[in-house]
């Protein structure tokens, strides 16, 4: 299977700005754009452009002069980070998105691709999550501030299209994983957190690892290369006002996930469930039919293949460094 698809004419001559382009998802989107024929890419760095600040946004647009903006930049983390930084996550994501879209409209940007989050869905949305259910309830409490801040991009996108004719689309990727993910135990999501726990426990000879909650919630995961391909396909082919899910349709319980990660990392110790820690949203599984219908996106990488690739990347790139520091 090829990682990247054939170049197209769409990107030729277009200047493309990818916020968050040095991050986990962003780095794969940039690779995909290059493979699809994009040659004029502008990747703003946070130390040079703090997109929470309006003057930095105006400077970015003046410097980049983009035709297309793919807005991936976000303040984000797992359950622990969301609980510890609710205010920052709400404010930073709201200010980045709202001001960047408004200034992009004023600057005459041809297309704005807004990346939302699965955390925008109601806590008890019917399974599978359908885009039309986005407004039928309040998000799960631990990540609601982040989810609602990103959800405002959908509102803004729709009203700017309606009133100004501004071409902005809104995509909802499910939980991502893959090589290059964030493995920091203070801010990582569940898959990299579990991979690190299992590998370090195995090397140290620990008899057990701790997992949060009771293992009953379910999650859907999308390999990062698939997510990047979906975003670029939507950027090329979709110009509508409907929000679009990007997912794999593969649902797994946290209990089965922990056991699968332990198997792949060859950790054979006990899994201790800390039920004093939150479970998060009870279930997450997407209806992905709209993405297939409107711009031909389907995931290609099955979960176990993607997980093995992620584990091998972590072993090769980071595990030995972390363990050497801890000795």
Place of tokens 């990062």: 224
What DSSP letter does each residue of 240-301 carry, written as one string? -SS-EEE----EEEHHHHHHHHHHHHT--SEEEEETTS---SS---B--HHHHHHH-----S
3-state DSSP assignment of residue 218: strand
Active site residue 146: yes
**Longest alpha-carbon distance in the chain:** 62
Q: Cα(108)–Cα(165) distance, rounded to whole angstroms?
A: 11
Indicate which residue of 49, 121, 146, 160 is catalytic.
146
Interstrand relation of 251-253 and 218-223 (parallel, antiparallel or unpaired)? antiparallel
Q: Provide the angle, in degrees to the nearest 10, between the axes of the packed helices 86-106 and 144-164.
A: 10
Query: How is the beta sheet containing 251-253 ordered, strand by strand?
Result: 175-177, 218-223, 251-253
Per-residue buried b or exposed e for 171-192, using 16+ beta carbons within 10 Å of the residue's own CB? bbbbbbbbbbbbbeeebbbbbb
Phi, psi dihedral angles at 304 (to 5 degrees): -65, -35
**Residue 228 in tokens:** 């990047």
3-state DSSP assignment of residue 230: helix
Cα separations in angstroms, 228 against 83, 121, 195, 225:
28, 21, 22, 5
Give, as one character, the DSSP assignment of residue 9: S
Interstrand relation of 40-42 and 168-173 (parallel, antiparallel or unpaired)? unpaired
Cα separations in angstroms, 4 against 30, 34, 36, 183, 246:
11, 10, 8, 25, 17
**Active-site annotation, residues:** 146
């Amino acid at each position: 299977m090829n990682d990247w698809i054939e170049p197209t004419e769409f990107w030729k001559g277009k200047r493309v700005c990818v916020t968050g382009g040095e991050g986990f998802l962003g780095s794969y989107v940039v690779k995909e754009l290059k493979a699809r024929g994009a040659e004029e890419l502008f990747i703003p760095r946070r130390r040079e452009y703090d997109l929470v600040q309006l003057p930095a946004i105006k400077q970015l647009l003046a410097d980049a002069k983009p035709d297309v903006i793919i807005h991936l930049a976000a303040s984000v983390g797992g359950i622990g980070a969301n609980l510890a930084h609710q205010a920052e996550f709400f404010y930073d994501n709201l200010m980045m998105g709202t001001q960047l879209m408004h200034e992009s409209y004023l600057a005459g940007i041809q297309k704005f691709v807004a990346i939302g989050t699965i955390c925008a869905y109601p806590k008890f949305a019917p399974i599978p999550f359908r885009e039309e259910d986005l407004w039928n309830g309040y998000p799960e409490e631990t990540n609601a501030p982040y989810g609602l801040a990103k959800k405002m991009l959908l509102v803004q996108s729709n009203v700017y299209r309606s009133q100004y004719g501004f071409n902005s689309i809104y995509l909802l990727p499910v939980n991502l994983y893959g090589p290059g993910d964030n493995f920091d135990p203070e801010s990582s999501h569940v898959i990299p957190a579990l991979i690190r726990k299992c590998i370090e426990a195995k090397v140290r000879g620990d008899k057990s690892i701790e997992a949060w909650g009771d293992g009953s919630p379910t999650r859907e995961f999308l390999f990062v290369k698939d997510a990047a391909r979906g975003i670029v396909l939507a950027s090329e082919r979709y110009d509508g006002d409907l929000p679009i899910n990007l997912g794999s349709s593969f649902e797994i319980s946290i209990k089965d996930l922990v056991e699968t990660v332990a198997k792949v990392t060859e950790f054979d110790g006990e899994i201790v469930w800390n039920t004093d820690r939150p479970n998060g949203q009870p279930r997450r599984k997407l209806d992905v039919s709209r993405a297939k219908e409107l711009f031909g996106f389907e995931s290609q990488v099955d979960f176990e293949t993607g997980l093995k690739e992620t584990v091998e990347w972590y072993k090769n790139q980071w595990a030995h460094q972390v363990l050497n520091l801890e000795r």
